[in-house]
Amino acid sequence: MWTFIHKWGSPKWFYAISAKVQPWCWAVSLILIATGTVWGLAFTPTEVNQGQGDSFRIIYVHVPAAFLAQSVFVSMAAASLVFMVWKVKVADMAATVMAPFGAVMTFVALFSGAVWGVPTWGTWWMWDARLTSMLILLFLFLGVIALRSAFTRREGGSKAASVLAMVGVINIPIIKYSVDWWFTLHQSATFTLTSRPLMPMEMWLPLLIMVLGFYCFFIALTLMRTRSEILRREIDKRWVRDLIKEAQ
Amino acid sequence: MSLCLQARQLACERDGRWLFEGLDLTIRSGDIVRIEGPNGSGKTTLLKLLAGQLSDYQGELFWNGAPLRKVREHYLANLLYLGHSPGIKAGLSPLENLAWYQALSGERGNTSQRLSALEQVGLGGFEDVLVGQLSAGQQRRVALARLTLTRRPLWVLDEPFTAIDRQGVAALEAQLAAHAQSGGSVLVTTHHALDVSPAARCIQLG
Amino acid sequence: MTQGQKATSTILETPVPGGLWVAFTATLKRDVTLMFRRRGELLNPLVFFALVITLFPIGISPDRAVLALIAPGLLWVAALLAALLSLDSLFRTDYDDGSLEQMLLAPQPLAALSLAKVLAHWLLTGLPLALVAPLLGVTLALPLGSYAVLALSLLLGSASLSLIGAIGAALTVGIARGGVLLSLIILPLYIPVLIFGVGAVQAAVIGEGVAAHLAMLGALLAASLLLAPWAIAASLRISING
């Protein structure tokens, strides 16, 4: 376990191994997202039960983005934990690049939710439990990003952002629970975006494919951006210089 | 039992620059060690590191042969660190400041102890004045009163002579020497020529 | 260095047993004394609280029916902001004058010493805010029967707010002008406390049981008490490291 962590902890080793994994992740994510998109948009039958018509198809972006946004926060906190406990620098680099991606995904989920709201609720914004939780998640991401960049020394920023990410991840279920609870108290005559007790197979199968595709996309993008973060931070190290020489 | 603080292959990086590398250092009972170096050479960082404040460094620290991380509480009970900022609250009187410091080490202490410590640093009569109304030198002296008040064998002092007048400097030098002679150790940075016996050992940085 | 000097021996100190309680109470007393010496600052959160409450009837409507409807939320949000306002200075003066690094070097757990500081902060901000809130509730036509619950919910809730907020204060203490950043990182974490706090008052207004809400606030406080001191201590170490 110990040697495994330290091997992964070595930026050089990570850089080498991720070069091999990365193309596969990209390929799988592109195939899945392409399949899911075409299937979901063109071949899935129109929604009739709730009278949403074709507008329901936004689910194929909204739900994967919302899933991913939460997973990114959890992954970021996990990476922060690894960084704080085992002092693995690569974990911190991964956490650094995950935060902006997570914020973007949260925004995508919010935006697609708002767009979906127009035909469903007749308004761009409803204080729906899910959307509200997403909005708070966005603020949590922005806080982590802002805190990291506020420090003049990078080590300080990394550690502070790690603590905040871990504090945040403990709070996410509490926030989610309390917001759901708040929403049931104030619930008006609307239905939530994703309460679909009966979702036919031909609807959720492409959704599943999209979710998996988004996750692969996340892995691929994180690998890619962590690699460039490694190069940026290790620019003075000999192995990076050798790499640059080879490239020239 | 004698005290022994040991640093092995100590290295510290700040903002991509190595302040010091491969530093070996042993401080034993009776030593006065002076850290020298130009501004920005890492004197304060080294002192903070040896005082157990910083965690991002390479190399190892040992306290009486045991890794410092494992015996931290015992080490801190033996350490008196005076930093760049004196650590004295402007809104409290010298007596109240000292009372808090005594309590931090777990002792209740009593007022007469604190009064005599203040006498020794020449602050008799100022014990109830708010520190904010004292001069910079006097504020520094409040911090220095902790040297007599709390019995700690290892002193780590960062520029203790700042803002102290000539008599005060001589008295402090005598105090450092007496501390070393009675088996304590002193680790100090100063820009001032240190006149103590036993003569200070120098460690050059930068 | 002669051999003779090296052989000199000294008696080493050991941590004083029971010293933690001495250090804890002394730190609490010190912080309370310091805050009392700046009495003006002590009043600031209360004045701010009253001012914000004044803005709402002016900004929305002086109609008592309208105000009564939104009073629980307004009181809670304003109290929360007032508590937040005073958090920035929680560790800042200690950081500036060097006593924070002395706290780190005390042979006592930093988490316990931080808890003493947070307790002092709560005693002099959260507690007064909770006591003043019913008075301001009168001006907002808060329905009768909910005043005690308002004070009680703020009493419990503001303790959690102080604990959670202290994490943010500890994380931003090394940053010049960290005040806005502090609000940015802490406010999202305040939302559960706000929800259950307001929920308790609203339940009291409509005459429902408040036990569940207060129990949730208590649970949040217990969790914060258990976890926040460690996070505060870790954050302070990070901030001292720079």
B153–C10 CB contact, under 8 Å = yes
Give the per-residue pLDDT at C6. 39
How far is C75 from chain B, CA to nearest CA, in Å?
A: 33
What is the residue-averaged pLDDT of chain C? 92
More confident residue, A203 or C172: C172
Q: Which residues make Cβ contacts (< 8 Å) with residue A162, sequence separation at least 6?
A: A80, A81, A83, A84, A92, A95
Lowest-pLDDT range, A122-136, A174-188, C36-50?
Answer: A174-188
More confident residue, C223 or B193: C223
Assess whether pLDDT exceeds 70 at residue B44: yes
Q: Does B2 touch chain C (CB under 8 A)?
A: yes
Nearest to C173 by CA among A147, A143, B118: A147
C-proximal residues of A, 95-154, CB under 8 Å? 136, 139-140, 142-144, 146-147, 150-153
Q: Does A156 touch chain C (CB under 8 A)?
A: yes
Put the strands of the sheet holding B32-36 in their side by side order: B79-82, B154-158, B185-189, B32-36, B201-204
Nearest to C55 by CA among C93, C89, C82: C82
Query: What is the percentage of chain A residues whose pLDDT exceeds 90?
Result: 58
CA gap B43, A88 in Å, rounded: 28
- Tell me the β-bridge partners of B11: B58
Which chains have at least 3 CB atom pairs separated by less than 8 Å from chain C? A, B
Assess whether pLDDT exceeds 60 at residue A192: no
pLDDT tens-place string over residues B142-187:
999 999 998 899 999 999 998 889 889 999 999 999 999 999 999 9
What per-residue string of b and e applies to A183-194 under the rule 16 or more CB within 10 Å gives b? beeeeeeeeebe
Give the per-residue pLDDT at A53. 77
C234–A151 CB contact, under 8 Å = no
- Residue in chain A closest to C199 (alpha carbons) equals A182
**CB-based contact A213:A29 (threshold 8 Å):** yes
C188–A155 CB contact, under 8 Å = no
Q: Report strand pairing: B79-82 vs B154-158.
A: parallel
Give the per-residue pLDDT at A191. 46
Instruction: Give contacts of A153 with chain B, Cβ < 8 Å.
Output: 14-15
Using the structure block, give the residue that is written with the tokens 């620059």: B17
Residues of B with CB under 8 A from a CB of A: 14-16, 56
pLDDT tens-place string over residues A114-142:
998 888 888 888 888 888 999 999 999 99
Mean pLDDT of A87-110: 95
Give the per-residue pLDDT at C242. 65
CA gap B9, A143 in Å, rounded: 38
B104–C26 CB contact, under 8 Å = yes
Q: Categorize the per-residue pLDDT at C128 as very low, low, confident or very high, splitting at 50, 70 and 90.
A: very high
| Whole-prediction pTM | 0.92
Q: What share of chain B is helix, strand, coil (3-state, %, to 5)?
A: 35, 25, 40
Give the nearest partner residue to C241 out of A156, A175, A179, using CB atoms: A156
Q: Report strand pairing: B4-14 vs B58-63.
A: antiparallel
pLDDT tens-place string over residues A27-66:
999 999 999 999 988 888 887 666 677 888 888 999 999 9
Instruction: Give contacts of B69 with chain A, Cβ < 8 Å.
Output: none
- Residue in chain C closest to A156 (alpha carbons) equals C242
Neighbours of C44 (CB within 10 A): 14
CA gap C117, C90 in Å, rounded: 8
Mean pLDDT of A160-179: 95
Give the per-residue pLDDT at A55. 82
Give the per-residue pLDDT at B3. 86
A178–C195 CB contact, under 8 Å = yes
Nearest to C231 by CA among C167, C178, C172: C167
Whether the bond into B198 is cis, omega within 30 of 0: yes
How many Cα atoms are found within 13 Å in the side-chain-facing hemisphere of A11? 22
Q: Does B83 touch chain C (CB under 8 A)?
A: yes
**CB-based contact A137:A73 (threshold 8 Å):** yes
User: How far is residue C203 CA from its own chain's centroid?
Assistant: 25
- Residue in chain A closest to B17 (alpha carbons) equals A236
Assess whether pLDDT exceeds 50 at residue C3: no
Using the structure block, give the residue that is written with the tokens 């007496």: B178
How far is A85 from chain B, CA to nearest CA, in Å?
A: 12
For residue C17, which phi and psi values (nearest 5 degrees)?
A: -65, 140
pLDDT tens-place string over residues C80-90:
999 998 899 99
Give the nearest partner residue to B83 out of C5, C8, C98, using CB atoms: C98
DSSP annotation string for A180-191? HHHHHHH--S--
What is the residue-averaged pLDDT of chain B? 90
C235–A163 CB contact, under 8 Å = yes
B87–C101 CB contact, under 8 Å = yes
C-alpha pair distances (Å), C194 with each of C146, C209, C226? 16, 18, 20
How many Cα atoms are found within 13 Å in the side-chain-facing hemisphere of C22? 19
Which chains have at least 3 CB atom pairs separated by less than 8 Å from chain A? B, C
Mean pLDDT of C190-207: 95
Give the per-residue pLDDT at B94. 96
More confident residue, B55 or C143: C143
- Residue in chain A closest to C184 (alpha carbons) equals A143
Mean pLDDT of C167-186: 92
Give the per-residue pLDDT at C4. 37
Give the per-residue pLDDT at B41. 86
Instruction: Give contacts of B16 with chain A, Cβ < 8 Å.
Output: 236
Instruction: Give contacts of C202 with chain A, Cβ < 8 Å.
Output: 185
Nearest to A242 by CA among A12, A1, A21: A12
C10–B104 CB contact, under 8 Å = no
Using the structure block, give the residue that is written with the tokens 């998996």: A212
A185–C242 CB contact, under 8 Å = no
Give the per-residue pLDDT at B116. 95
CA gap A203, A63 in Å, rounded: 13
Instruction: Give contacts of A152 with chain C, Cβ < 8 Å.
Output: 242
How far is B44 from chain C, CA to nearest CA, in Å?
A: 12
Instruction: Give contacts of B88 with chain C, Cβ < 8 Å.
Output: 97-99
Assess whether pLDDT exceeds 90 at residue A96: yes
More confident residue, A11 or A74: A74
| Secondary structure in 3-state letters for chain C | CCHHHHHCCCCCCCCCCCHHHHHHHHHHHHHHHHHHHCHHHHHHHHHHHHHHHHHHHHHCCCCHHHHHHHHHHHHHHHHHHHHHHCCCHHHHHHHHHCHHHHHHCCCCCHHHHHHHHHHHHHHHHHHHHHHHHHHHHHHCCCCCCCHHHHHHHHHHHHHHHHHHHHHHHHHHCCCCCCHHHHHHHHHHHHHHHHHHHHHHHHHHHCCCCCHHHHHHHHHHHHHHHHHHHHHHHHHHHHHHHC
Domain ranges in chain A are 21-186+199-247
Give the per-residue pLDDT at A6. 65
What is the residue-averaged pLDDT of chain A? 88
Q: Categorize the per-residue pLDDT at B42 as very low, low, confident or very high, splitting at 50, 70 and 90.
A: confident
Q: Which residues make Cβ contacts (< 8 Å) with residue C183, sequence separation at least 6?
A: C84
DSSP annotation string for A207-220? HHHHHHHHHHHHHH
Give the per-residue pLDDT at A3. 63
Mean pLDDT of C170-180: 90
Q: Does B1 touch chain C (CB under 8 A)?
A: yes
Q: Categorize the per-residue pLDDT at A194 as very low, low, confident or very high, splitting at 50, 70 and 90.
A: low
Which CATH class, in words, describes the domain spanning A21-186+199-247? mainly alpha
More confident residue, C52 or B205: C52
Give the nearest partner residue to B78 out of C12, C18, C25, using CB atoms: C12
Give the per-residue pLDDT at C159. 97
pLDDT tens-place string over residues B97-154:
999 999 998 888 899 999 999 999 999 999 999 999 999 999 999 999 999 998 899 9
More confident residue, A200 or A33: A33
Give the nearest partner residue to A159 out of C184, C189, C238, using CB atoms: C238
Instruction: Give contacts of B15 with chain A, Cβ < 8 Å.
Output: 153-154
Which chains have at least 3 CB atom pairs separated by less than 8 Å from chain B? A, C
How far is C77 from chain B, CA to nearest CA, in Å?
A: 32
CA gap B177, B180 in Å, rounded: 5
pLDDT tens-place string over residues B7-40:
999 998 887 788 888 899 999 999 999 998 888 8
Give the per-residue pLDDT at C15. 79
B15–A236 CB contact, under 8 Å = no
